[in-house]
Every structure is written in C-alpha cells, then in structure tokens.
Amino acid sequence: MPPDDAASTSRPPERVTTVTLAKMAAARQPLAMLTAYDFPTAQMLDAAGVDCLLVGDSLAMVVQGHETTLPVTLDQMIYHAEMVGRAARRALVVVDLPFPEGQLSIDRTLTSAARILKETRCQAVKLEGGAEQAERIAALATAGIPVMAHVGLRPQSVHVEGGYRVQRDEPQLLADAAAAAEAGAFAMVIECVSAKIVQRIRETVTIPTIGIGAGPDVDGQVLVTHDLLGMTAGYLPRFVKQYGNLREGISSAVAQYVDEVRSGAYPDATHYFR
C-alpha cells in the first residue's frame, strides 16, 4: 500500500455539490462562480478554484454574437454543456434553461432539464423567474432535478422590460425570492438589484444567493468570463471588473504572426523539419 500522502495525490478533488454550496454559505465562505462554454476554458477555471461553472445562455451574445440571449437553442446549450461538464473535476456545473424551455409547459421544461442532465455531465439547471415560476421550480425539484433560481433582471425578458435595467420593485423582488426558495430552489442568482433590496432578500431566504450587479451582501458572485478577462468589445456593465486584457494581448500576438508570415520570418530553421 502506498503511504497516505502518495495516495492522496492521485485522488480527484472533492466535487462541489448543491449541499456543498449550502454549507459554504452557512459558514460565510464566499462562493466564486463564472461562465464557461468550452472544454479548455472550463478546465482552466476549474483548476483555478472556481466553485461553480455556469453554462449560461449568455453564450448567445459572447460566443455567437447575438444582441440578446434569446436565439440560443436547447441543443446548442447541451452541446456546450457537455464540453464544460467533461472538463470540470471539482466545480458544480449549472446549465441555463434557454428561452422558451422555461416559459412553455411544465412538462416541456421537465423534459428539457432531464435532457441536460442525461446528455451532459452537469449537475443542475438554472431557471429565470420568481413567484410565477414557483410551480415549475417545485416540479423540477420533485423530479430530482436541482434548480437554481434567477431573480431581478431577467435577460430572457429583455423585450418585456424594454432593456437591461436595475430592478427596484422591492415588494415584487422579495416575493420572487421567497417563492423560489419555498418552491425548492437550492440557490438563486440575483441580477442588477440595489444593495438595499438585496439585504432584505437575504433576510427573507436561507438558500445561497449569488449576485451579479447586486453588491457585496450575497453569498457569492458571478461574472461572464469574457468580461472578466477583457475579451469583450464595446460596452461593459458597471458591475464588471476586468482582471485581464486578453483581447489586446491576442490581437497583438496574431498581428505579429501575420507580419512574420508575410515577411518570411516564420517559420525559421528552428520551426521546421529538415
């Protein structure tokens, strides 16, 4: 038998689960969540210690180039989620239910969510909505499908809302959060809600809360990875902090490659076989 320390190096890291998130929140250990849409990115984020990876329908905007999240399909979400699920060894992987899978019949939602869990290695789905989605959340939970709620700004309702706006209807937000928690959601994302209302929500629910543009009084934070790494062109929301500038670095590296190919500097003698 190898010594204990040798054996431990071969064990995979302990998987973060829905129960883990609850324990971390109870212990006031902040949760770090980021989006991922492909194998190498998910692998790097997982190795860096991210607790939760979200295969977000935001891929419609940051990967596919659409103006909203609405065009991405369930099949496309499953395609990307399968890659992320294969890469993640520690992080909990949550997959967005894309429009309109969470807006049609409950049976349709159950079927779509079940496909995600069966066809990927992901562990949960995320559903936009609060009080009006309580019955749907309860049906998913009853079926054994972990569901993360999403209250506040709902990108899938952008045309109803008339744009992406900070949400300030405190009674409705409190009702949404309470209903989602009571229906069986294991956690919830709170998007673009004032910090004062978020504090009230925290007094209302006991499940982990993960904020995006919701201030510091939550159990965790989530950002779009492309925004965090400086890969996004154009407008960035106020709540985004860029921790890198990969867009500039990639553009510079590619421009140098193009110049060297055109000048004949690449490949030189060290880069080909004689």
φ, ψ for residue 248, nearest 5 deg: -65, -40
For residue 57, how many other CB atoms are within 10 A of its CB? 28
Residue-wise over 62-90: b if at least 16 C-beta within 10 A, else e? bbeeeebbbebebebbbebbbbbbebbeb
Q: Using the Cα atoms of residue 182, residue 183, residue 189 and residue 194 in order, give the sign of their dihedral.
A: negative
Q: Using the Cα atoms of residue 118, residue 124, residue 126 and residue 129 in order, give the sign of their dihedral.
A: positive
Q: Which conformational region is residue 215 in: left (phi greater than 0), alpha (psi within -120 to 50 degrees), or beta?
A: left
Given 191, 203, 248, 260, the catalytic residue = 191
Active site residue 191: yes
- Cα separation of 158 and 87, whole Å? 32
Task: Give every CB contact of residue 89 below 8 A, 6+ residues apart in sequence.
Answer: 12, 13, 15, 46
Q: How many angstroms separate the most distant Cα atoms in the chain?
A: 74
Active site residues: 191
